[in-house]
Amino acid sequence: MESSDARLANRAAVLNELLSRGTGTRVAIAAWTGLSKATVSRVTDDLIQEGLIRETGPLPGTGPGRQALALALAGEETLVCGVDLGGSNTRFLVTDIAGRVHARAREATPRASTAAETAHWLAARVAALAGSRDLGVTAVGLPGAVHPRTGAVRTAPNLPQLEGTAFTEAVAAALPGRTVFDNDANAALLGEVTAGAARGYETAAMVTIGTGLGASVHLGGRLLTGRTGAVGEFGVLPYGDGTLESFISGSGMVARARRMGSDVRDAAQIFEQEEPRTVLDDAAVALMTLVTALNVAYEPEVVVLGGGVASPLIPRLRGLAGVLEELTPQPPKIVLSALGDPAGAVGSLMAALHTHYRALDVHMPDLRGVAATLLRSLPSEDVHVPAPSA
């Protein structure tokens, strides 16, 4: 008779193979997991009865005899939601537990609202997108440091109404199921590690540059958050006559340009006009300083640059490779986000799925197959789906 721990381990092994591969027969799952055919049959029968997987039909046979039935994730009735709450725009992504897209939206963030108003707006949008279906988990990426235990938000200068616990508590109370929160840069990196530019790397870091500035680190298969969620908050570090965020972020660049007498509407105009040149040059040097600090602190194999301001800054990072080579014999690759603008929402959705599958005792779910299903459903102009890693 199997022990409880053995049953859980076998259950997790079968679910993980279907998460990663999308579909498979009982015989194939036995070969992939190393479990006996009898054990796989017993586990899959239980999972079918629970409604977590289903038989999708016979596979073409190569000879006489009974044709093998393919198994796949079920769960069409259970939804999860990923939210990327940004300083300018908010993305919502709702899928079932196999990554099949149910709804998605992108809306302007209500910057002038109170914590309660912002929470009500977000919860109402999620509920409207989920409709009548059961919502199991919602994960929200926020532009600030999020305490992993209390949910308290700090250092959110572009949306100060989020700071403290009033916002996170109000959202959690308003939404059904479980609600989890994390820093938006952490969410974006989780998306890139699962299905983007950081896939296949053991150690990765990401810098997201939009309205604000964020950084995140992935070590040993996990996001590094720290005791209070402060890991990656490089934007608050003193730099020049301000902070790193005031030099690198879109809002910081606009503020600096206006102090110099330039009447710019946004960071995009600064890049279009190539003026003020000092703002652009200073931003590039500050970004090089940040990437150098990430390399010294964590020695990542790859550093992903994401957000609307990252792409036009990359050509200005002349000399960065040489600086990194002086610090380490194996400098990190510097790459642009493969997921693009949806990276934060995709990563938040992955966090929601991790939470869902952990409740099923799959504590390190392999979501590559689920992510592949999801990315195939997103507009091609939004996402560049990278080739599979060797």
Q: What is the 3-state secondary structure (H, E, C) of 47-90?
A: HHHCCCEEEEEECCCCCCCCCCEEEEECCCCEEEEEEEECCCEE
Q: Count other C-beta atoms under 10 Å from residue 253's C-beta.
A: 25
Q: How far apart are CA 94 and CA 382, in angstroms?
A: 16
Burial of 203 (0-12, 13-18, 19+ CB in 10 A): middle
pLDDT at site 2 = 59
CATH topology classification for 197-336: Nucleotidyltransferase; domain 5 (3.30.420)
pTM of the model: 0.87
Amino acid in the structure at residue 49: Q
Q: Does residue 99 have a pLDDT over 70?
A: yes
Residue 383 — pLDDT band, cuts 50, 70, 90?
A: very low
> Using an 8 Å Cβ cutoff, are 258 and 246 in contact?
no
Packing angle between helix 368-377 and helix 184-195, nearest 10 degrees?
100
Q: Does residue 44 have a pLDDT over 90?
A: yes
Q: How far apart are CA 234 and CA 245, in angstroms?
A: 8
> Using an 8 Å Cβ cutoff, are 94 and 130 in contact?
yes
- Percent share of the chain, pLDDT over 90: 68
> Using an 8 Å Cβ cutoff, are 93 and 345 in contact?
yes
Q: Does residue 221 have a pLDDT over 90?
A: no
Q: Does residue 384 have a pLDDT over 80?
A: no
Residue 295 — pLDDT band, cuts 50, 70, 90?
A: very high
Q: Does residue 130 have a pLDDT over 70?
A: yes
CB-side neighbour CA atoms (13 Å) of 61: 8
pLDDT at site 220 = 85
Residue 274 — pLDDT band, cuts 50, 70, 90?
A: very high
Question: What are the residue ranges spanned by the domains of the chain?
Answer: 4-73, 78-190+341-377, 197-336
| Arithmetic mean of pLDDT, 104-109 | 94
pLDDT at site 19 = 86
Q: Does residue 51 have a pLDDT over 90?
A: no
pLDDT at site 366 = 85
Q: Which CATH architecture has domain 78-190+341-377?
A: 2-Layer Sandwich (3.30)
Cβ contacts of residue 313 below 8 Å, gap of 6+? 209, 283, 284, 287, 305
Answer whether 78-190+341-377 and 197-336 agree in fold. yes
pLDDT at site 61 = 56
pLDDT at site 380 = 55
Which residues share a beta bridge with 243? 238
pLDDT at site 60 = 60
Q: How far apart are CA 373 and CA 284, in angstroms?
A: 36
Q: Which residue has the higher pLDDT, 244 or 368?
A: 244
Cis peptide before 176 (omega within 30 of 0): no
- What CATH class has 4-73? mainly alpha
Cβ contacts of residue 285 below 8 Å, gap of 6+? none
- Percent share of the chain, pLDDT over 70: 94
Q: Which residue has the higher pLDDT, 73 or 161?
A: 161
